A and B are shown apart, each in its own frame.
Chain A
Amino acid sequence: MTAEVETPPEAKARSGHVPGEPGLWVFLLGDMVVFGIFFGTISVLRARHTEEFVTSQQTLHLHWGVVNTIILLTSSLFVVIGMHLARARHHRAPLFFLAAVVCGLMFAGVKAIEYTSLVQDHHTASVNDFYTYYFMFTGIHLGHVVLGMGALLVASRVARPTSTGTHRMAALEGVASFWHLVDLLWIMLFATLYLVR
């Protein structure tokens, strides 16, 4: 029926299982390096121009930031549930990946509201370094969200109980790892841009 070979969980624990495939982590860790430089930049900016940083920070919409953090954490939970159901070849598995895509769309919608509101208040990217970096870093992150939604759509097909292929679970783990990274990077961005005083 299916050519899939799944390693039993105990064997995974012994051999040190890498989620997805090892090569994926070249990209994931590399991406973390880029975002690490972003977080470092924000910290340096706060240390050098504390007053400008704090005044600008107070114009951000903290409540929308909180909402988006909850949305992404929920989406990660959906992906975790989806992974469990997919492993068990449960027919509901694709639904949870699609639910995570809906969360991604909601996140993008909230971001659009925030951007519009900031621009209407004349807090545009050209006002000072804080806004420049705010729009740039959250924009690059939003690009990751869009890429991740595409990957989740593919995952919702792969997660079907009828789907075959030798690397079914590895592909799903790869998508899940990327989505968790997108979530993690947002939490870091949210903390450094909205919260740290």
Chain B
Amino acid sequence: MSDDLEPAGVPAPPPEPGVSHVPAPAPADAPHLSAPASGLTDGEWHRLHPATPLLRGGIVLIAILAWVISNLRERLLDLFIGRGDVEGDPIDWVVGNGLVGVALLIIAGALLLFIGGFYLSWRMHTFRITNEVVEVRSGILFRTNRRGRLDRIQGINIVRPFFARLFGAAKLEVNVAGQDANVQLAYLSSTNADNLRLDILRLASGSQRSEAAARDAAARAAAAPTTTLPAADAGTALTGAPDAQRYPGTPYPGTTPPGQPAPGKPLPRLLDTRVSELLAPELDPNFAPPESVVKLHTGRLIGSIFLNDTTVMFVIIIGAAIAWASLADAPFLLFTIFPVVLGAASFIFRRFTKSLRYSIAGTPDGVRVGFGLFTISNETLPPGRIHSVQVSQPILWRGPGWWEIKVNRASKSSTKGADGQQNTTILPVGNLDDVLRVLGLLLPGLVEDSSVQLLRDGLISPGRDGFTNSPRRAWPLRWFSWRRNGFAFGPGVILLRKGAIWRELVVVPEPRVQSLALLQGPIYRRLGLAKIKVHTVAGPITAELGAIDVDAALTLFTDGSRAVIESATADTSHRWRSSERTSDRDSESTGGHTGDHPGGHSGEAVS
């Protein structure tokens, strides 16, 4: 019963668990380039996983059941143990008043209503994916119709709550820009969700438009097979992933058995696919490098959680309470810290389980970030959807040399990421090398030989380097950090460096900058300083830099605004694979840009 989707146009028979419509996998022998992996992107209306109503409303049913059972506990005990009389039981009352028939009728009616409602809501909940939009219709009485444009996709998230994983179901969430602007497909079967994401990303990437051209290319490739294998250039070496478009023989994940064990970790073949699906690695080995570029050791994760501001605060509160209780010789005071202990434990547990199995890897369609132990979340961020990146190091992490990476995104995912925040934390904890690797994934073209030194400086240098730093006269405003407080231009990015104690580096990709502001107040004017703000979409990061020299700020403002315009014109990441089109009318404008677009170099390879 893993596959469930049928065209909704025809009045379909009720779903039978045994009968399934397995989407035909792409034939491996015929290089049919644009064959969708899931068979769901044909523009027809499809239905969701049959277990959807149970998964969405099932919790309520279970809660009601639990309530009923707990109310009838005495009666049940009575049944099994058979002693004593129970007073005031609703069943006694029903029996006593001769209402057994009525009660049964009511129960049957409620059950029918529930099941009917579930079935109806499942029947009415349909979605379709065309070349332009993804659209969902739902609701029985109040109909909802939501449509998201594919070229506006900011990320696709696949969430597998623990309960849904038991059914082999997953929730696919297409994030488009804006508050609460997500198109949710909940629930799909697990493999379908993976394949569908692949298909949607392929449609959104703009490579589908060149279907005919691509087929021509494939035909030519078949005639001369050597031309299909271009040498790995810098772009693909960075993302490190095979490009599905360029390797037609690569089997789609639909054709591979789910649950391939992670390399190096032999996974015993367990009872059935469900179990192996439950334990499967998050990243499909065919579409991501087999290994995450960052290995999050459990020890480091635990350490990072305990060296956390919140944890330290909890410890201080608990310690203070214990001290107080012992000093005042009033042990009952210990009970007052009980909720704090509970809170601390749940915070640590949540953060720990959310960040376990963290993985990040580059795919042809963007960066894929996965985490979660029980509820697994796995999100793909297409190229050019990251509006700014912040690498920060709290003082407690200085010793072990750990960093955290957050990003600003145009969409707000409804699911929480690691740490229970919005999905803005891309790397919960990592060392300097991890940071550079993740930055290379997030902003392709940024981490090169020439710029690595700049990034290292931005992270750990105390000052006097490639950055334009604050002048000495800025010390009244930046007591410790004036030497470090500065900016620099990297390849396609603006780098802002702040903080000597709480170190921070903000990287803003130029094509994503919305506007630039230059500010000066009376104190700054007296000190000959100014402030620069780089406006991006709202998020946890505010890219601004205060207390820099007026002339430097003016340079940053004028050069920056020019660079921003140039990068934005050259940027094609909203259709990140469109340069693969053999006949591309925009190709002249994409030429010189090395910005954020991993497939960017492949145009020459195909044609």
- On whether the two chains bind one another, the answer is no
Residues of A with Cβ closer than 8 Å to B?
Answer: none
Residues of B with Cβ closer than 8 Å to A?
Answer: none
